[in-house]
Amino acid sequence: MTSSHTRTVPDETSSFAWFHTLGSRGKRAFVGAFGGYGLDSYDFQVLPLGIVALSATLNITTGQAGLLATVTLVVSALGGALAGVLADRIGRTRTLVLTIATYALFTVLCGFAPNYETLIILRALQGLGFGGEWAIGAILVAEYARSRYRGRVVAYIQSSWAVGWALAVIVYTVVFNLVSEDLAWRVLFWTGALPALLVLYIRRSVTDAPVATEHRDTARVRGSFTAIFQGPLLRTTFFASLLATGTQGGYYTLATWVPTYLKSERGLTVVGTGGYLAFLISGAFAGYLTGGYLTDKLGRKRTFTLFAILSGVLILAYTQIPSGANTAVLVLGFPLGFSASAIFSGFGAFLSELYPTALRGTGQGFTYNVGRAVGAFFPTVVGFLATGVGVGGAMAFGALAYAIAAVALLGLPETRGRELT
């Protein structure tokens, strides 16, 4: 007879061994981080989805619309860097709660903006929380994960971006078919209150991994910007920031301008746009998961290189499809979403492995979000170029970002299999 106190040993041969080996505390952390990043995505996507209606209501140009996205991302760099320091000083879980509450509050307030100037300020403040959530959630879960599964574990967290994006598209389609456009974009922002419910779960159920708690209590240097620019970490910080710049510059070009491209240049309706985005988002979800497995099998650097090349080629192909060939746009949306998302799958594991525990939050928060801030200028450049060459032609500029990512990998080490200590 088996004792009721016998400990269950996770089956490491199963398809979901990566999840079972997290343990009960790790699984709760996974749920909190997955939900946080998914709702982070939801709150970000309401802007590009509502930007056409918003622009008409507030009478703004494509350049000003692009600046709304850029300001969010630039300020998010500050929020992410500060959140990283806080994570090393007060803990991963407490910082995660702060970031989620911040982006939820200011997303809702954006829906009440009476003019462009107010909206851009509120959107910037939303960026403070938006910037910190992913890095902190990824670190929280990475520190529970075993090294052999870390890539796919954090990739599953990353995949929640596609889930939040899909939810935003569904809500967008429903709202814009029920409410007049001058009010519908405001309603979208108001639904950004959803993450507040997740905060209650995280506060009650999620705790930091023991390795993080131990180092926070004993480390002489923790949460220091100066430390990540000293010795060998200086090279790591520079090239990791460059890698983040390239991948996010390309991605945010797509996330910001594809809905406008589909409506203004392909002539699609709200429902039609949602259908085409469904292909893009489905590809994104599959890409996140596949990329996570590849980063554990092929290594971090090989996976980044593979998808940087594919993403650059596909963004050029997608935006140069001749007028009237909308079926090609529909079909190509899946591999484009797949590739542009798969490149992100290794980030959480890679950046966590590049920095020691006492500086992991600071290093990851800084590099990922500096990359986000610099990469954020790509949507603005596209917005201004669009006045001369159209949105589709201008979006081709995003391919340059993926070339930058590929070059950055030359300065970084391979970290697959590295233990977090």
Residue with tokens 């935006």: 319
- The region of weakest confidence among 190-194, 196-200, 375-379 is 375-379
Distance, in Å, from the CA atom of 151 to the CA atom of 18, rounded to the nearest integer, reads 9
| Confidence at residue 10, expressed as pLDDT on a 0 to 100 scale | 52
Type of residue numbered 310: L
pLDDT(181) > 80: yes
Distance, in Å, from the CA atom of 52 to the CA atom of 263, rounded to the nearest integer, reads 9
| Confidence at residue 226, expressed as pLDDT on a 0 to 100 scale | 87
SS (HEC) of the chain: CCCCCCCCCCCCCCCCHHHHCCHHHHHHHHHHHHHHHHHHHHHHHHHHHHHHHHHHHHCCCHHHHHHHHHHHHHHHHHHHHHHHHHHHHHCHHHHHHHHHHHHHHHHHHHCCCCCHHHHHHHHHHHHHHHHHHHHHHHHHHHCCCCCCCHHHHHHHHHHHHHHHHHHHHHHHHHHHHHCCHHHHHHHHHHHHHCHHHHHHHHHHHCCCCHHHHHHHHHCCCCCCCHHHHCCHHHHHHHHHHHHHHHHHHHHHHHHHHHHHHHHHCCCCCHHHHHHHHHHHHHHHHHHHHHHHHHHHHCCHHHHHHHHHHHHHHHHHHHHCCCCCCHHHHHHHHHHHHHHHHHCCCCHHHHHHHHCCHHHHHHHHHHHHHHHHHHHCHHHHHHHHHHHHHHHHHHHHHHHHHHHHHHHHHHHCCCCCCCCCC
Distance, in Å, from the CA atom of 140 to the CA atom of 142, rounded to the nearest integer, reads 6
pLDDT(335) > 70: yes
pLDDT (average), residues 13-37: 86
pLDDT(6) > 50: no
How sure is the predictor about 1, in pLDDT bands with cuts at 50, 70 and 90? very low
- 57: how many CB neighbours lie within 10 A of its CB? 18
pTM above 0.85, yes or no: no
| Confidence at residue 203, expressed as pLDDT on a 0 to 100 scale | 87
- The region of weakest confidence among 155-164, 249-258, 405-414 is 249-258
User: Tell me: the pLDDT tens digits for 85-144?
Assistant: 898 888 999 999 999 999 899 999 999 999 999 999 999 999 888 888 878 888 899 899
Closest CA to 36 of 162, 131, 134: 134
| Average pLDDT along the chain | 84
How sure is the predictor about 47, in pLDDT bands with cuts at 50, 70 and 90? confident
pLDDT(302) > 90: yes
How sure is the predictor about 290, in pLDDT bands with cuts at 50, 70 and 90? very high
| Confidence at residue 254, expressed as pLDDT on a 0 to 100 scale | 76
Residue with tokens 């596949």: 290
| Confidence at residue 4, expressed as pLDDT on a 0 to 100 scale | 43
pLDDT (average), residues 233-262: 85
| Confidence at residue 125, expressed as pLDDT on a 0 to 100 scale | 92
pLDDT (average), residues 51-59: 89
Type of residue numbered 198: L
Distance, in Å, from the CA atom of 421 to the CA atom of 389, rounded to the nearest integer, reads 51
pLDDT(214) > 80: no
Cα–Cα distances in angstroms (integers) from residue 53 to residues 118, 172, 210, in the given order: 17, 11, 48
Which tokens is 74 given?
């630039």
- The region of weakest confidence among 63-67, 177-181, 230-234, 404-408 is 63-67
Catalogue all structural domains in the chain, each as residue range(s) with its CATH number. Answer: 24-204+226-411 (1.20.1250.20)
Does 255 or 197 have the greater pLDDT score?
197
Distance, in Å, from the CA atom of 333 to the CA atom of 152, rounded to the nearest integer, reads 24
How sure is the predictor about 318, in pLDDT bands with cuts at 50, 70 and 90? confident
| Confidence at residue 175, expressed as pLDDT on a 0 to 100 scale | 93
pLDDT(389) > 90: no
What residues contact residue 86 under an 8 Å CB cut-off, 6+ apart? Answer: 94, 95, 98, 132, 223, 361
| Confidence at residue 391, expressed as pLDDT on a 0 to 100 scale | 67
